[in-house]
Amino acid sequence: MGRLLQVSTPDYDYHSRLVSSDNPLNGSQLWGCNDYVVLGYSRLESGDVYPGVFLIGTITAIYDVGCLLGAIAAMYVGEKWGRKKTILLGTTIMSIGAVLQTAAYGVPQMIVGRVVAGIGNGINTATAPVWQGETSQIKWRGKLVIIEMILNVAGYSLSNWMTFGFSFVPGPASWRFPLAFQFVFIFVLYATVPWLPESPRWLIGHDKTENAQQIIADLENKDVHDPHVIAAYTEIITAVQYEREHAISWRQLLRGQTGDQGGTCVIRRLILGAGAQAMQQLAGINVTSYYLPTVLMESVKLSETLSRLLAACNSVSYLIASTLAIPKIDGWGRRKLMIWCALGQGVCYLMITVLLRFSEKPDYPHQTQVAAAAVAFFFCYYLFFGCSYQGIGWLLPVELNSLSMRTKGAALGTATNWAMNFMVVEVTPVGIQNLGWKFYIIWTVFNFSFIPVVYFFYPETANRALEDIDVFFRENHSIFVNGNPEAISVARPARYIEMEQALTDQSTSISKAKQMLSQDEGQIEYHETV
């Protein structure tokens, strides 16, 4: 952290990893908090908490309601308090929820604990990606969000294996210990977040410019007067001033009063960011993430033990697939990954639908074989989702929204994610039971529909500064981007590079002029003294 810690400053990549490695641990803990109960819901019956069949879905989904409320709260708290304090607030609320769940003696306390933990999780999931994106270099921003999601999936995988292992343990310990285990991640957050730098963009937006320039210098491992630091600082200042001149309130936004054509397409950017989160959930990931053992038992007709073992094994392949996105997120860009992986996900769900159709036919002679093939396509689906929508859904709301709306936009996107999550969790058990193989047609259609949506409406954000994206939306007001070479190019457009270089050259000239002036003043003072 350089001058922030009054020690020698390491390189920028180290700082990026510090910020990113903290927030993903938070994500892993959040997944664990969610899935330890969800994946092991049947084990609740072995203790003092006996939810019954009809309450299981409510206990599962009520967490998402809490997350939705937390994300909405982050719209207001996050911009007022800053990124660090908001994360600590969310973690504190989650700690209270974790205590309530671990010590639950009945269904009401478990539900309250789930809601409280969800509120804290919603605050953190709305804030962490913004904080990370605002403290990352262009070349690292996408990769760091993917790394965050990899650790997120690692927490999910851990919850699967822990649930599977503790399913053989009798008594309340089978679910109380997995719930208590999340405190490991909570302690890590409390130990690391206070030492991390605040977002320089948030500081500039709140007129704390001196601290912001120092943090930019520390993150870049350069002197505060370095031309590159001054150029980055000036670019953010310019973006903040422009946003203030064209800022709109929530009341104006809801009334459609978005200002003149010199604005930055606020509503369009909010919709695109929230849409990315909606697509992540409508891709059908939580049909299997929450209920894969149930899906394998009800749809594929496997035993409970084998279903839980396969779910745990699948979480490992999911984790491996997520790592494939690290070199591809900037090499292929967001658009290509979303389009091609939506195609792959759609094909997987199509094959699952067809295979389960035959496996449910009473007189079909190869039911076992087609059921096994369906399991293979469930695994294959995770490969496509893990290297695309898993991370991109959280990345785009940060990249697409302007500085003045970034906190609100990310919070709105997160709220959309949890609202869709709640819907999926609620309908899945009923859909599997009542519709059978037809239930999977829904997710097949959704995945194929994402292809034209991304192709026509989503601009590329890879290899661009956040201020580059602001410039794009200021100058391009058409909702269709497919015909704009600058909008779909994976490489950073040349004119943005030229603009940045011109700003750096200008900062260099100013810096040299100040040095010469300082030298001249020193010589004059020297001669006067003599």
pLDDT band at 33 (very low <50, low <70, confident <90, very high): very low
DSSP secondary structure string for all residues of 187-202: HHHHHHGGGSPPPHHH
Same domain, 470 and 521: no
Question: Is residue 417 situated within a structural domain?
Answer: yes
Q: Which residue has the higher pLDDT, 11 or 109?
A: 109
Same domain, 193 and 254: no
- Mean residue pLDDT of the chain comes to 81
Question: Is residue 294 situated within a structural domain?
Answer: yes
Question: Is residue 240 situated within a structural domain?
Answer: no
Same domain, 162 and 277: no
Of residues 286, 392, 319, 283, the one with CA closest to residue 35: 286
Same domain, 281 and 375: yes
Residue 49 is part of which domain span? 1-197
Distance CA 291, CA 440 (A): 14
pLDDT for res 143: 86
Distance of CA 14 to the CA centre of its chain: 21
Question: Is residue 222 situated within a structural domain?
Answer: no
- Say how many C-beta atoms besides its own lie within 10 A of residue 441's C-beta: 15
Residue 16 has pLDDT above 70, yes or no: no
> Which range is most confident: 180-189, 218-227, 331-340?
331-340
Same domain, 524 and 425: no
Question: Is residue 229 situated within a structural domain?
Answer: no
Question: Is residue 219 situated within a structural domain?
Answer: no
Same domain, 499 and 483: no
Question: Is residue 508 situated within a structural domain?
Answer: yes
Same domain, 335 and 257: yes
Q: pLDDT (tens digit, 9 = 90+) per residue, 76-123?
A: 898 889 999 999 999 999 999 999 988 988 888 888 999 999 999 999
Same domain, 108 and 22: yes
Q: What is the mean pLDDT of residues 220-245?
A: 83
Same domain, 502 and 381: no
**Per the structure, how many domains does the chain have?**
3
Of residues 122, 86, 29, the one with CA closest to residue 421: 122
Same domain, 188 and 251: no
Q: What is the mean pLDDT of residues 128-135?
A: 87
Same domain, 23 and 42: yes
Q: pLDDT (tens digit, 9 = 90+) per residue, 136-185?
A: 887 888 888 888 888 888 888 888 888 788 878 887 888 788 888 888 88
**Domain containing residue 351: CATH number:** 1.20.1250.20
Question: Is residue 483 situated within a structural domain?
Answer: yes
Same domain, 126 and 142: yes
Burial of 145 (0-12, 13-18, 19+ CB in 10 A): buried
Of residues 33, 119, 135, the one with CA closest to residue 84: 135
Q: What is the pTM of this model?
A: 0.80
The share of the chain scoring above pLDDT 70, in percent, equals: 82
